[in-house]
Every structure is written in C-alpha cells, then in structure tokens.
Amino acid sequence: MADPTLDRLNVEISRRLRAETGYVPSTTRVAGKVAIRPCYINPRTTSNDVDSLARSVRELGDRIAGHR
C-alpha cells in the first residue's frame, strides 16, 4: 500500500474509532507517516483494554479496505 493510501486509512480509522467506539486516539506522524496514537494515562487501563483497541483498529481497517 502506498504511503498516502496508508495515511488516509489511518486517519479514517482514527476518525471512526472516535465516532463509533469509546476510544479517542489522536494521530501523529512518525518518520513522515500517519500513525494512530493512543494515550494510556488512566491507571485502571488493563491489557484487555489495549487488546480491544487493537481489535477495533483491525476490524475497522478491514472494513474500510473491503477485506471482510
């Protein structure tokens, strides 16, 4: 996938996470590429919370890209 396409995908995943789930990640650039940036500052955050966000990112990405 070309970088501009991946950048657009990550921006759209981040937007949908905020609109459709309880997750509110921001985006940032790492080495010039858009990355989804979660911030875990709540001391009650569990590894299940982290895993659930990762699953949501994957599911949204697959849906947007038309893989499921």
Task: Convert the pLDDT of each residue in 5-57 to its tens digit.
Answer: 999 999 999 999 999 999 999 999 999 999 999 999 999 999 999 999 999 99
User: Which pLDDT belongs to residue 42?
Assistant: 93
Tokens of 62: 């697959």
- Measure Cα distances from 28 to 43, 44, 66, 67 in Å: 23, 25, 25, 25
Cα dihedral across residues 12, 38, 59, 16: positive or negative: negative
Indicate whether 67 pLDDT > 90.
Answer: no
The CA R_g of the chain, rounded to the nearest whole Å, is: 12
Indicate whether 1 pLDDT > 60.
Answer: no
Chain centre distance of CA 3: 16
